[in-house]
Amino acid sequence: MLQQRVLTALLLAPLAILLILLPPTWLFAPLVAVAFLAALWEWTRLSGLRDRNVRSGLLVIGALLFAVIWQLRDSALWPALLGAGTVWWGVACLWLRHFTYAAAPTAESRNIKLLAGVFTVFPAWVALLAIHRSEPHGHWWTLLALALVWAADIGAYFSGRFLGRRKLAPTISPNKTWAGVYGALAAGVAVVLAGGWLLGVRGGQLFGLALLAVVAVGASIVGDLLESLFKRHAQVKDSGTLFPGHGGLLDRLDSVFAALPVFALGMLILGL
């Protein structure tokens, strides 16, 4: 499984980096929207919605919402969505604490999870584009924001595998450990400090960036756990089978969805 995960990552990483660095934001936006809609498709299934026609209709509505949000990119809507997305992951912590909430396969549980998908996907899309279109190094900041999540994931995997003893949330995700959390934090902060330094951040801003990395990594872990909780509720191992060894697209983006609004809002606060 590890070999399969590594091979898949090696194939996908260059494509992802080129997708981030080369296109202008107006082209980057719809490309990312397609990926996010595909993840939203998996989210609707995990939520308990089985009717493919209804799920397709929701994706059409989602695409229209992306278009409207893009047209309002210079309005107060974007900072508001960043704030809403950040607050949402604080609420998600409470859901993880009361993990049986909305577990029953009822229409009410399904609708609650679908609403959670709105607060998960759309603020993350806004965050990614807000970072990408920022000046003067928006493309590189976007790569750094995603590299933070990738590094945290790698650090969590190896530190959890070799040092993990104490479980983080055994009822939700038995394989996650506190050692994995510490490894994720160390790797994420190291990558952000190095990237921030290369992008010309110094002094107090660099210290603030390190603190932001800690919060963003924490959010990424919450995002990962929330998707694990939904999979527990749905009694499935992965959200899909798109990537060998990695599961579905949502399995790859759950942490990204959570970290991006936090990172983008933190950049605004720090003046980066």
Q: Report the alpha-carbon distance of residue 9 to residue 4 in Å, rounded.
A: 9
Note the pLDDT of residue 84. 96
The pTM is what? 0.93
- How much is the pLDDT for 228? 92
Task: Count CA atoms within 13 Å of residue 220 on its CB side.
Answer: 33
Would you state the pLDDT for residue 241? 57
Per-residue pLDDT of the chain (272 residues; tens, 9 = 90+): 556 666 666 777 888 899 999 999 999 999 999 999 999 999 999 999 989 999 999 999 999 999 999 999 999 999 999 999 999 999 999 999 998 999 998 999 999 999 999 999 999 999 999 999 999 999 999 999 999 999 999 999 889 888 878 999 989 988 899 999 999 999 999 999 999 999 999 999 999 999 999 999 999 999 999 999 999 998 887 676 565 555 678 888 999 999 999 999 999 999 99
Output the pLDDT for position 165. Answer: 84
User: How high is the pLDDT of residue 16?
Assistant: 87
Residue 99 neighbours by CB distance under 10 Å: 17
Q: What is the pLDDT of residue 57?
A: 96
Euclidean distance between the first and final Cα of the chain, in Å? Answer: 39
Q: Tell me which H or E stretch contains 167.
A: strand 167-169
CA dist 63 → 35, 73, 125, 230, 261 (Å): 11, 15, 12, 23, 20
Residue span of the structural domain in which 231 resides: 2-270
Number of structural domains in the chain: 1
pLDDT of residue 252: 84
